[in-house]
Structure 1
Amino acid sequence: METSQALLIYNMASVEKCPETLTAVNASSKQLNCSIDTYGNNQYMCLPNAEKSSLVEFCYNGIMGIQVEGNCLEAKDGRVILHSCKKFLSGCPKKPFFNYDFYKYPACQHINLKHFCYESDPSCQALENSGGFNNVSNDNRDIMYGLIGGLLVLVILTIVIAGFINERRWKRWWWSFTGVGNEPDRKPDKTSGTTTNPGL
């Protein structure tokens, strides 16, 4: 369930990664020219959007208030909203936190852009793991098919050759045991009716 706060967001921009240290936060805040609230707190924030399709950095006009534990922050329609993270495997805030401390909880910024979910959410990891063979690119899939086909041909040839060799060995054993038929590797002598060994 999501709850929201009416906080006006401005200077919003998409980013590939949110800052994860106070030094990086201050540098990004300076680039966006963010202000401070009435208590002297930096008004810069970097959060996922509500769709989990992008990370966005922004400033907003509002007090950097305190939030309830067990929630991540998201940006939606010019506001900051709360998104429950109590089911996260790790990284969910376990105590109340201020808005400006968002960077201390990277699990709330690490999103899966393929499935539009939080990486620490078990349901998100299930989606990622279920992708399996479908996540293989077409080029890699063609290579995989080629390797599998070549391996099958090699296995079939090996079986055929092994079968031929085993057949000759069996014939030799049968002749030595029973004396029936021509000795393997010997050809009948057309003139005398006997067999000759081509190796002699």
Structure 2
Amino acid sequence: MSNPQVRVALILLGIVFLKSNGNHREVLATRTAGRVSECPRDEKEWWIASKRLNCSDDAISPVNRYHCLPAENLTTLLEFCYNRTRPQVVNGLCMVFIEKKNIVNHYNCSKFNEGCPNKSYYSNEIYNFPACLEIDPTQRCYKAELSCQQSTRFLTDVLNTTMSTLVNDTSRTMKKNVRIFYLVIILSVIILVGVIGAYVVWKIHHTMYINRIINYGNSRATGCCSRSETVDFEY
């Protein structure tokens, strides 16, 4: 009942492709890989992750094993079940995952300062070589590589210098702003005191003027002022 073409297509999807090229070998991987912040660091964590993805935990069968590897461009870590025979990796090589092709590829780690595998291992046992799982996604390199460490150190120095400059500039700006703030406060107090002083002087002068008018009115009412008497009401 099944279409022969469909059966052929399903068979082709299950074929494992091997491509030999020097120290590199690519193997077809299966299922959609998921991004993780870090890979399991030991056998127990690896087993727990395998259970979570429902990968095979058969100690005898080498197929459908859990894998967690850096992406080919070293920007992230990817985990997946590889339902074909786990490849054996020779010493001096780590492994990466080419997500677009769903294949596992070897990475020459001879430039590592330390941590490059010194013996052969199975791909699902890469947790025994943590340096193969430690990447700098920003620099897209393995942290164990000298060039990666130099780039990271350079960026760290630049960042520290920039932060130091910003802190110093901010400190100077704050000090300047504080001086301006105090100057504004002092000027405001001076102006306020001047205004209050001027008002007090005006108030005293005005009160004296009102009192003189009242006194003059009283003297007129009692007839105490002669015709020749003059009163200055200048204000």
TM-score between both structures, scaled by the size of structure 1: 0.67
Secondary structure of 2:115's counterpart equals: coil
1:139 & 1:121 partners in 2: Cα distance? 27
CA contact (8 A) 1:37 1:62 kept: no
- Structure 1 residues without counterparts, runs of 5 or longer: 152-200
Q: Does 1:66 align with 2:57?
A: no
Residue aligning to 2:111:
87
CA contact (8 A) 2:89 2:122 kept: yes
CA contact (8 A) 1:11 1:32 kept: no
TM-align CA RMSD: 2.8
Secondary structure of 1:10's counterpart equals: coil
Deviation at 1:144, TM superposition (A): 3.3
Q: Does 1:121 align with 2:145?
A: yes
Higher RCO, Cα 8 Å, sep 6+: 1
Aligned ranges for residues 36-115 of structure 1 at < 5 Å? 39-41=60-62, 43-76=65-98, 77-115=101-139
Q: When you count helix as a share of all residues, which structure comes out higher? A: 2
Q: When you count strand as a share of all residues, which structure comes out higher? A: 1
Deviation at 1:125, TM superposition (A): 0.6
Which structure is larger by alpha-carbon Rg, 1 or 2? 2
1:34 & 1:147 partners in 2: Cα distance? 56
Deviates more, 1:42-51 or 1:118-127: 42-51
Deviates more, 1:61-70 or 1:114-123: 61-70
Deviates more, 1:60-69 or 1:39-48: 39-48
Residue aligning to 1:191:
none
Q: Does 1:13 align with 2:34?
A: yes
Residue aligning to 1:31:
52
1:40 & 1:10 partners in 2: Cα distance? 18
